[in-house]
RNA sequence: GGGGGCGUGGUGUAGCCUGGCUAAACACACCUGCCUGUCACGCAGGAGACCGCGGGUUCAAAUCCCGUCGCUCCCGCCA
């Protein structure tokens, strides 16, 4: 008997005794009868008990109960069309208070208004009790699952690369430094070098879903200092086009799966329609992107006229939506000066890289490229960027003993979730947000 | 890093511009009592903030000024 029944399954247990477990969302304690609304991760259920001599203990417990307490209820499921929680209710036989909640909640998960961001962050576990919060992470699980499924089906190997590094992977300004047994170490801001090392190792195709760290003091709704990176790298590509072609099919599959599982829930809770994108996605070379942006009346600051700023990206997103009816757009052919040294350059035009960004509804969600796999060219490009070769020598060595041509991309999980569900802020799509001013809980 | 906004009981806000008329108001939550099935339950009563912090102006400041701390948004950086 003490097998737990989820609230969503009560209808299948009419007339039988069940145990439900969850949080007290509401207490309606009346003279003759007492109602509890109990929430678990699958929904709401009403539990009811009449005030009577034989149930004085239960009646008393309920009189002293508080909202958001954790309870276990045993009782019989009865059908009652009047009841708004699914037309069924549980007639309480016994009630156990597993954890009584303090009556003064710092954050009310079923309250009429949303608390301030700071209150939400400080009491994140109460904030996460809101069903819409739960749904975000159920959808995140489905996304990750579908992505991993597609990768594995395509012959990829899953990688877990180290996050502690002896030298900053590239550049250096945006890397966290920490003390490592008396010498400096750095938190990986990308698995870039290691996934390329797997190419040199002959793994052919790899992916990694793991934490990445960025020491940028960014204050926007779409940045954090620690997030889950989605990275992949594939060997024997002819160009970055092969990578883009993979990525768009991977995304189409993922959204297909997520829509099938959560399309209705996403519509009801967030008012968003999950669209399974057509492939190929629209492609917009940087030169054309600049024209589109200019035509739409936006002028980027002179010093970054080779790149797209956030507004520019939004406008290219609008363009893709209007011209192609598409939520996604690849921006390709970024100039050398706005790309890292390891991006391969076009053989016909060395000022342009074989790289791309992927925009979703005008928000940058991924960056990719074909990598430079020729040792001497790579060294030349690193020098050109003014890099100190010594700390990256281990990386450069990958390309001295037979490394296949390869390419890949990196994307951000929370950022994709934010765009998918049209959330106002990345932190809603992050279990525990880390930012320049947020390091706890 | 640059710019804007905000900071009032447990929570969300009003009041601030046009200082005193409010011993700081409203909603939700909380406490007490009442209520024959409630379902945003209802009704009656009650407790709870000296208005982020520090300084200044003034007869008088939550309200004006300066500083400071915190949060937040935009830009930049990027996923």
Q: Please report, for the domain that includes residue A273, its CATH number.
A: 3.30.930.10
* A9/A427 Cα distance (integer angstroms): 32
CA of A119 to C1' of B55 (A): 29
Q: Does A438 map to a domain?
A: no
* A28 nearest nt, CA–C1': B38
Shared domain check, A336 and A378: yes
Q: Does A437 map to a domain?
A: no
Q: Does A119 map to a domain?
A: no
Shared domain check, A159 and A55: no
In the structure encoding, which two tokens stand for residue A140, read together?
């995140």
Domains in chain A: how many in total?
2
Nearest of A249, A220, A222 to residue A234 by alpha carbon: A249
* A103 nearest nt, CA–C1': B30
* A30 nearest nt, CA–C1': B35
What ipTM was assigned to the predicted interfaces of this complex?
A: 0.89
CA of A217 to C1' of B69 (A): 19
**CATH number of the domain encompassing residue A11:** 2.40.50.140
Mean pLDDT by 10 residues, chain A (441 residues): 88 96 96 96 96 92 96 96 94 96 94 90 94 95 98 97 86 78 93 96 98 92 95 97 98 98 95 96 93 84 72 93 96 93 94 96 96 96 91 94 97 96 95 92 86
CA–CA–CA angle A424, A219, A142 (5° rounding): 45
CA of A264 to C1' of B64 (A): 54
Find the residue closest to B76 using CA and C1' atoms: A218
* A107 nearest nt, CA–C1': B11
> What residues form DSSP beta bridges with A429?
none
Those nucleotides of strand B lying less than 7 Å from any protein Cβ are 1-3, 10-13, 27-31, 34-41, 70-79
Shared domain check, A303 and A190: yes
The Cβ of residue A337 has, within 10 Å, a number of other Cβ atoms equal to: 11
* A365 nearest nt, CA–C1': B79
Taking CA atoms, A19 is separated from A1, A90, A129, A149, in Å, by 8, 9, 21, 35
Shared domain check, A343 and A390: yes
CA of A27 to C1' of B13 (A): 26
CA of A63 to C1' of B32 (A): 13
In which residue are the tokens 């020098």 written? A383
Orientation of helix A310-324 relative to helix A286-295, angle to 10°: 90
Identify whether the C-beta of residue A192 lies closer than 8 Å to the C-beta of residue A171: no
Nearest of A25, A7, A5, A157 to residue A88 by alpha carbon: A7
Shared domain check, A222 and A92: no
> What residues form DSSP beta bridges with A185?
A178
Q: Does A46 map to a domain?
A: yes
In the structure encoding, which two tokens stand for residue A176, read together?
């966290």
Residues in Cβ contact with A263 at an 8 Å cutoff, skipping those fewer than 6 apart? A273, A274
* A105/A328 Cα distance (integer angstroms): 42
In the structure encoding, which two tokens stand for residue A289, read together?
């992107």
CA of A157 to C1' of B8 (A): 56
β-pairing, A157-158 vs A88-99, is unpaired
Shared domain check, A158 and A67: no
Q: Does A88 map to a domain?
A: yes
CA of A120 to C1' of B49 (A): 21
Shared domain check, A288 and A237: yes
Residues in Cβ contact with A183 at an 8 Å cutoff, skipping those fewer than 6 apart? none
CA of A119 to C1' of B71 (A): 10
* A91 nearest nt, CA–C1': B37
CA of A126 to C1' of B63 (A): 35
* A44 nearest nt, CA–C1': B39
CA of A85 to C1' of B39 (A): 8
* A26 nearest nt, CA–C1': B39
Shared domain check, A214 and A73: no
Shared domain check, A87 and A25: yes
Shared domain check, A372 and A238: yes
Shared domain check, A185 and A75: no
- Cis amide prior to A117 (ω within 30 degrees): no
CA of A232 to C1' of B18 (A): 62
Shared domain check, A179 and A30: no
* A413 nearest nt, CA–C1': B79
Domain holding A15, by residue range, is 7-99
Q: Does A440 map to a domain?
A: no
CA–CA–CA angle A32, A17, A27 (5° rounding): 35
Find the residue closest to B29 using CA and C1' atoms: A104
């Amino acid at each position: 008997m003490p097998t737990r029944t989820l609230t969503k399954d009560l209808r299948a247990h009419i007339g039988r005794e069940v145990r439900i477990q969850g949080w007290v969302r509401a207490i309606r304690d009346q003279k003759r009868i007492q109602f509890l609304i109990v929430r678990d991760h699958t929904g709401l259920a009403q539990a009811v008990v009449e005030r009577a001599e034989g149930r004085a203990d239960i009646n008393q417990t309920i009189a002293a109960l508080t909202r958001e307490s954790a309870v276990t209820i045993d009782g019989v499921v009865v059908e009652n069309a009047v009841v708004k929680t699914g037309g069924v209710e549980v007639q309480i036989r016994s009630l156990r208070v597993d954890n009584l909640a303090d009556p003064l909640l710092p954050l009310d998960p079923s309250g009429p208004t949303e608390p301030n961001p700071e209150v939400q962050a400080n009491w994140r576990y109460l904030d996460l009790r809101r069903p819409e919060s739960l749904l975000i992470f159920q959808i995140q699980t489905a996304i990750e699952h579908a992505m991993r499924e597609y990768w594995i089906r395509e012959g990829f190997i899953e990688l877990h690369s180290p996050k502690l590094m002896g030298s900053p992977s590239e550049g250096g300004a945006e890397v966290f430094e920490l003390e490592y047994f008396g010498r400096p170490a750095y938190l990986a801001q990308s698995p870039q070098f290691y996934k390329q090392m797997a190419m040199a190792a002959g793994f052919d195709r790899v992916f990694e879903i793991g934490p990445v760290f960025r020491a940028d003091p960014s204050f926007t709704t779409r940045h954090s200092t620690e997030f889950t990176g989605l990275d992949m790298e594939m060997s024997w590509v002819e160009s970055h086009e092969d990578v883009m072609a993979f990525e768009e099919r991977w995304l189409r599959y993922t959204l297909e799966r997520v829509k099938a599982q959560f399309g209705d829930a996403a519509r009801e809770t967030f008012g968003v329609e999950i669209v399974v994108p057509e492939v190929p996605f629209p492609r917009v070379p940087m030169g054309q992107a600049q024209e589109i942006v200019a035509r739409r009346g936006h002028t980027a600051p002179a010093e970054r006229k080779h790149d797209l700023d956030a507004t520019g990206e939004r406008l290219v997103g609008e363009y893709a939506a209007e011209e192609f009816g598409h939520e996604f757009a690849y921006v390709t052919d970024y100039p050398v000066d706005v790309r890292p040294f390891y991006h391969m350059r076009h053989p016909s035009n060395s000022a342009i890289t074989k790289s791309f960004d992927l925009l979703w509804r005008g928000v940058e969600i991924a960056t990719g490229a074909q990598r430079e796999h020729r040792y001497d060219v790579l060294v030349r490009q690193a020098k050109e960027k003014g890099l100190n070769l010594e700390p990256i020598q281990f990386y450069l060595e990958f390309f001295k003993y037979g490394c296949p041509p390869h390419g890949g991309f990196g994307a951000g999980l929370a950022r994709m979730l934010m765009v998918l569900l049209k959330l106002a802020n990345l932190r809603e799509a992050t279990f525990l947000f880390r930012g320049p001013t947020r390091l706890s809980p």
